[in-house]
Amino acid sequence: MNSAIEPPLRLFVRTVALPDDRALIDHLPETAPLAWIRRGEGLVAWGEAARLRLSAETERTGRTRFATAAEWARTLLAGAEVTDDVNIAGTGPVVFGSFSFDGTGTDSTVVLPRVIVGRRAGRSWITTVNDRPGHPSDLLAGSGRRREIGALRWSGGALGDDAWRTAVGAAVDRIGTGGLEKVVLARDLVAEAPDPIDVRTLLDRLTGDYPDCYSYSVDGLVGATPELLVRRDGDTLESLVLAGTRPRGTDPDTDAALAAALLDSDKDLAEHAYATESLRLALGPLSARLTVSDQPEILRLANLQHLASAVRATLRPGVSALDAVAALHPTAAVGGTPTAAAMEAIAELEQMDRGRYAGPVGWLDGHGNGEWGIALRCAHVVGRSARLFAGCGIVAGSEPEAELAEAVTKFAAMRTALTD
C-alpha cells in the first residue's frame, strides 16, 4: 500500500457525542498534533492508526499523489467497522492530509489518527480508532501546558531581497514576451528557537488572531490559510477564490481607500480573473451545476484584505472532496496561468523547494466529505526550526518593490505567532 505503517487487517471506529466545551486545542497533546479549526469549530486529532507516505515516483508513473491517497483512504476506511452516533460530516473515521506543491518531493503525507475530537454547529464528538472493539478510558486526559517559543534567531531563506526583486523582474519580462500570463513566486524565511517549538502554542495564537481563517497542523506544517480550496458535504461543494491583496488600513478611512483601490486595480482584477477561470474550468467536468460570483468582493482579515469570489457546485455522483482537490491543484492563485508555463517559471526563478507550502491541506471522512485549503501563511516546524513561506501573484503590471512589500506583509501572520 506504499504505507510507512501498514494498517491493521480490521479497524474498529466509534463516534459518540462529547459533553465537553473546552476549546479544541485544549485536547491536543504536544506530540504531532493534527488540527483544522475555524471560529472555534473543526477537528483536532492525535495518535496514528495508519499513515501513507507518498513519493515522487507516484507522479512519475502517471498516477497522481491525490489519486493514490484517495484509493488508499477508500480501501482503508471501507474495511473499518464503524459505529457513529453523531453521523454528520467529519464523524466516523477521518484522515488528515498535506500534499507537496509540485509532487516532486517526498513530503506528502496522509494520516489516520487514533483519536479525533470535533465540533460543528454546537455539537461536539469524539472518534476513536482501534485494532479491537472498545476504547481506552483516558483519551481526554490533560494535554499539558503549552510552552512559549522563546527568543528567536532569524535568517534569510533561498533568496535575499535583491535576488527576489530580480526574480520578480524576470517573471514580468517573461510575461511580456507572451506564453505566460501570471506566475506566483514565493520566498522563505527561517526562525530558530532555543527549544523545540510547541505547535499548540502557534495554533492557539493563530486561531485567536485569525478566527476567520482555517488554522491547520499536519505533520509539522502549521498555519492559518484564508483560502478554502474545497468543502464537500454530501453532493454540495463550495470553494473560495482569493487573488489580489492589500494591507489593512490603520483607520476606517484608510482601510476603505485601500479596498477601493484594490477593486479598481487592473493588475489585481486580472490576477483574480485568471484564478477564477482556472477553477471554473477544473470543476466543470466534476459538476452537474456550477455557479461563480459575478464580481469579486472584499474579504477582510486581521492584517490583509483580498479580492474574493465564492463558488458553489453540485457534484456528479461519486466525486469525493479529494477528487475535486486533484482536479483543482495547482490553481492559478498559487501557480499561475497557463499552468505548465507557470510551473516551469517557478522552478527556474524561485530557486527553492516549496515542500508542502501552497499544496492542499485538510481532511477527508469515510463518506468522501471533507475540507481542504491551500497551505498558505504557514511554517514547516521541525524541532527548534520553523521555515516560513510567502508568495505573490506576478502579472504584467507587477512592480518588484511592491511585491517584496506584499511578501513581507504575508510573513507577518507566522512571525507574530512565533513571537512571545
Q: Which cell is 160 given?
A: 535575499
Rounded CA separation 189/388 (Å): 5
β partners of residue 119: 42, 124
Least confident of 101-115, 138-152, 381-395, 400-414: 138-152
> pLDDT category, 135, cuts 50, 70, 90?
low
pLDDT over threshold 60, residue 388: yes
Options 181, 227, 271, 403, the catalytic residue:
227
Beta-carbon count within 10 A of 23 CB:
15
19 or 218: which leads in pLDDT: 218
**Predicted confidence band of residue 139 (pLDDT cuts 50, 70, 90):** low
Active site annotation includes 350: no
- Provide the CATH number for the domain around residue 277: 3.60.120.10
The pLDDT score that the predictor gives to residue 404 is: 95
- Quick: pLDDT tens for 73-105: 989 988 899 999 999 999 999 999 999 998 887
Quote the pTM value.
0.89
More confident residue, 111 or 55: 111
pLDDT tens for residues 324-346?
999 989 988 899 989 999 999 99
What's the rounded Cα separation, in Å, for the pair 32 and 45?
A: 9
91 located within any domain: yes
For the chain, the domain total comes to 1
pLDDT averaged over the chain? Answer: 89
Question: What tens digit of pLDDT does each residue of 180-236 get?
Answer: 999 999 999 999 999 999 999 999 999 999 999 999 999 999 999 988 899 998 889
The winner for highest mean pLDDT among 69-78, 155-164, 275-284 is 155-164
Reference 99, options 408, 375, 324, 327; nearest CA is 375
Closest by CA to 329, choosing from 368, 357, 369, is: 357
- Write the pLDDT tens digit of every residue in 44-79: 999 999 999 887 677 665 568 898 899 899 899 888
Hey, which bits of 109-181 come out as E strands? 109-112, 115-120, 123-130, 153-156
d(CA 35, CA 243): 25
Cβ neighbours of residue 396 under 8 Å, at least 6 residues apart? 172, 175, 176, 181, 267, 270
Task: State pLDDT tens for residues 288-321.
Answer: 899 988 889 998 887 888 898 989 999 899 888 8
β-pairing, 236-247 vs 153-156, is: unpaired
Residue 140 in any domain: the answer is no
Helix or strand run (H / E) with residue 188: strand 182-192
Q: Which residue has the higher pLDDT, 88 or 270?
A: 88
Each residue's pLDDT tens digit, 400-417: 999 999 999 999 999 999
CA-based radius of gyration for the chain:
21
- Asked, for residue 286, whether it belongs to a domain, the answer is yes
Helix/strand/coil for 15: strand
d(CA 128, CA 116): 7
Measured between alpha carbons, how far is 360 from 260 in angstroms, rounded to an integer?
Answer: 31
182 is catalytic: yes
Give the residue among 174, 166, 165 at the shortest CA–CA distance from 396: 174
CA distances from residue 297 to 179, 261, 418 in whole angstroms, order as listed = 29, 13, 31
Range of the domain at 261: 12-134+151-418
The reply to whether 66 falls in a domain is yes
Any domain includes 139: no
Low-confidence winner among 32-36, 74-78, 172-176, 353-357 (lowest mean pLDDT): 74-78
Please check the confidence at residue 2 and state whether its pLDDT lies above 60.
Answer: no
Which has more pLDDT, 139 or 289? 289
What are the DSSP calls for 325-371, one per residue?
A: HHHHPSPTTTSEESHHHHHHHHHHHS-S--TTTTSEEEEEETTS-EE
User: What is the reported pLDDT for 5?
Assistant: 43
- 7 part of a folded domain: no
Q: How confident is the model over 262-287, as a mean pLDDT?
A: 87
143: in domain? no
Paired residues of 363 in beta bridges: 96, 371
Return the SS3 of 80.
coil
Q: Average pLDDT in the 110-115 region?
A: 95
Could you say which of 48, 71, 181, 182 is catalytic? 182
pLDDT at 140: 61
Residue 3: pLDDT band with limits 50, 70, 90: very low
Evaluate whether 182 touches 144 at the Cβ level (below 8 Å): no
Residue 30 within a domain: yes
